[in-house]
Amino acid sequence: MEVILKEDVANLGHRGDVVKVADGYGRNFLLPRKLALQATPANKAVIDQMKNAAARRSATEKAVAEELVTKLEPIVLSFTRKSGEAGHLFGSVTSADIAAGLSAKGFEVDRRKIQLDEPLKSLGDFNVAIKLYREVTAHVKVKVLAEAAEEAAAEAPAAEPAAAAAPVATAAPAVEEGVAE
């Protein structure tokens, strides 16, 4: 089946291209999602108009993406997570977390555009790529920090008196039992 792409499709082609695809892929994926048109003679006549409009739209989208890159480059996102002694996180920082962090700063970026091979699972500084357009990629600095040691220190003394009180509480009933006999 031949189709005309209405949008860029990964590993297939760009907007306005005429590509040959499997019948099921075209009927069940591309056509229902309005990503492509069936390549009929009438639709082929419209290709030139689509390509001209696509070229104009592509130029404006690329310009917007390049402008967004200049705004995103200086941003540093910080995430605080619980971690072990070796600096390994108990959880992770995912692309959804990074997208939420960017939206908190006023930038709406789809999490699927954030290029993470796997979630960040260790402490440190990372450069994360965000693919905004075909040849336009922004790099955002992400800092993963451990939770403050002050909180851990505050929890430790609170646990010690409770542990010290427990043996005393168990010893007191034993003495009372001895007196009662």
pLDDT in tens, 18-35: 899 999 999 999 999 999
For the CA atoms of 46, 48, 53, 59, what is the dihedral angle to 10 degrees?
150
pTM, full prediction: 0.58
**Cβ of 99: how many Cβ atoms within 10 Å?**
19
Task: Compute the average pLDDT of residues 44-49.
Answer: 77
pLDDT in tens, 132-161: 888 899 999 999 999 875 454 445 554 454
Question: Which is higher by pLDDT, 50 or 167?
Answer: 50
Please name the fold of domain 73-149. Answer: Ribosomal Protein L9; domain 2 (3.10.430)
Q: Which CATH number fits domain 2-63: 3.40.5.10, 3.20.20.80, 3.40.1390.20, 3.30.413.10?
A: 3.40.5.10
Domain boundaries, the chain: 2-63, 73-149
24-33, 82-91, 101-110, 154-163: least confident range: 154-163
Find out whether 30 and 2 touch, Cβ atoms under 8 Å.
no
As a whole number, the mean pLDDT across the chain is 82
